[in-house]
């Protein structure tokens, strides 16, 4: 397709709305968190079960683990500067359904300071305010308005790397990067409302054509999307490891 393939430079800004009333002093685990022992021969299976137990609580957040509400997950701003004169900005993104993941794999390797996961998301819904400027396929776009999107059967395979460090004689794992090995965008469908302010017909037609090519468009924007997803995951899982030492999370 004719979306500029020479897109090169990309910036993504992701930050979280930090829960305000997070208790700093009390460090305890909620009762539904099952701890997994490092020495357990079924360590990986234990992790899987523990995650399954935690899952229903992710929607509203888990203050004890410093995890914010996960549905909707709020990203205040996601910016895409794709070079070649194409700019998109999404403000106040509300992401629904990220808590309803299916774990295909979730391996924590304490020896290697790595977490490898493979997760699929049956249904994600995104609502945001968008601003788009530039050439996409054969459209010259310059519009803003509400955006609504559904993505079904998205899958992410990634590895997170970290480093050990000591704090008051306790060993912690600082997760430093997420490497996305593979992403399958599944079946995406988006609506950019008010794209051509006084022309609902053209807006509808354009949306139709954009959606017919959405998988390719997303693939072209993949480096940015990987960065956004990678940083989001890093922020989430990183918080847990920042708060608790390795021994506290995984006793011997
Ligand atoms: C767990 O493994 C460590 C070595 O990695 C060993 O020192 C310790 O005795 C083991 N603990 C149990 C309960 O097996
Ligand atoms: C997304 O799905 C919801 C129902 O789950 C529907 O109401 C909405 O119109 C859909 N939006 C798009 C852009 O497909």
The 10s digit of each residue's pLDDT in 15-40 is 555 444 444 455 788 899 989 999 89
> What is the rounded average pLDDT of the residues 60-87?
88
Is pLDDT of 53 > 60? yes
User: Which residue's alpha carbon is nearest to atom 11 within ligand 1?
Assistant: 252
Residue 135 clears pLDDT 80, i.e. is over it: yes
CB 217 within 8 A of CB 4: no
Task: Kindly tell me if the per-residue pLDDT of 59 is higher than 60.
Answer: yes
- Contact residues for 156 (Cβ-Cβ < 8 A; gap 6+): 117, 118, 119, 120, 121, 180, 182, 183, 229
Please identify, by atom number, the ligand 2 atom nearest to the C-alpha of residue 191. 13
- Residue 167 Rama label (left phi>0; alpha psi -120 to 50; beta): beta
Rounded mean pLDDT of 164-179?
95
Taking the CB of residue 64, how many other CB atoms lie within 10 A of it?
18
pLDDT confidence bin for 81, thresholds 50/70/90: confident
For 194-215, write each residue's pLDDT tens digit: 999 999 999 999 999 999 999 9
The best mutation among 39, 41, 43, 109 to test binding of ligand 1, ranked by most ligand atoms within 8 Å of the C-beta, falls on: 39
The structural domains of the chain, with segments of one domain joined by +, span 43-249
- Inform me whether the pLDDT recorded for 7 exceeds 70: no
* φ, ψ at 184 (rounded to 5°): -115, 115
Identify the pLDDT of residue 26: 55
pLDDT band at 10 (very low <50, low <70, confident <90, very high): very low
How many Cα atoms occupy the beta-carbon half-sphere of 58 within 13 Å?
19
Kindly give the distance from the C-alpha atom of residue 39 to the centroid of ligand 1, in angstroms, as a whole number. Answer: 6
CATH superfamily of the 43-249 domain: TULIP domain (3.15.10.30)
- Could you tell me the distance, in angstroms and rounded to a whole number, from the CA of residue 195 to the centre of ligand 2? 18
According to the 3-state scheme, what is the secondary structure of 28-54? CCCCCCCCCCCCCCCHHHHHHHHHHHH
Mean pLDDT, all residues of the chain = 88
**Ligand 2 near 189 CB (within 6 A):** yes
**Nearest 5°: CA angle at 71, between 69 and 77?**
80
What confidence category does residue 136 fall into, taking pLDDT thresholds of 50, 70 and 90?
A: confident
Both structure tokens of 2: 């004719």
The percent of residues in the chain predicted with pLDDT above 70, rounded, is 89
pLDDT at 12 (0 to 100): 44
Torsion, CA 83, CA 92, CA 149, CA 119, rounded to 10: 90
């Amino acid at each position: 397709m004719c979306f500029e393939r020479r897109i090169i430079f990309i910036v993504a800004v992701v930050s979280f709305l930090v829960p305000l009333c997070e208790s700093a002093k009390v460090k305890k685990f909620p009762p539904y968190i099952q701890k997994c022992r490092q020495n357990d021969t079924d360590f990986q299976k234990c992790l899987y079960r523990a995650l399954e137990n935690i899952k229903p609580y992710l929607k509203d957040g888990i203050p004890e683990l410093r995890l914010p509400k996960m549905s909707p997950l709020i990203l205040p701003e996601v910016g895409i500067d794709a070079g070649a004169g194409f700019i998109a900005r999404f403000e106040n993104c509300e992401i629904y359904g990220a808590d309803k993941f299916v774990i295909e794999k979730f391996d924590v390797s304490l020896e290697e300071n790595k977490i490898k996961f493979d997760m699929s998301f049956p249904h994600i819904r995104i609502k945001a305010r968008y601003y788009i400027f530039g050439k996409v396929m054969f459209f010259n776009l310059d519009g803003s308005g509400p955006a609504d999107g559904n993505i079904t059967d998205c899958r992410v395979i990634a590895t997170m790397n970290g480093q050990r460090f000591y704090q008051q004689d306790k060993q912690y794992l600082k997760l430093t990067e997420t490497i996305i090995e593979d992403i399958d965008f599944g079946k995406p469908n988006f609506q950019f409302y008010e794209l051509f302010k006084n022309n609902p017909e053209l807006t509808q037609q354009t949306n139709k054509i954009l959606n017919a090519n959405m998988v390719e468009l997303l693939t072209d924007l993949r480096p940015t999307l990987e960065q956004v997803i990678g940083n989001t995951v890093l922020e989430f899982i990183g918080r847990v490891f920042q708060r608790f030492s390795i021994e506290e999370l995984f006793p011997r």
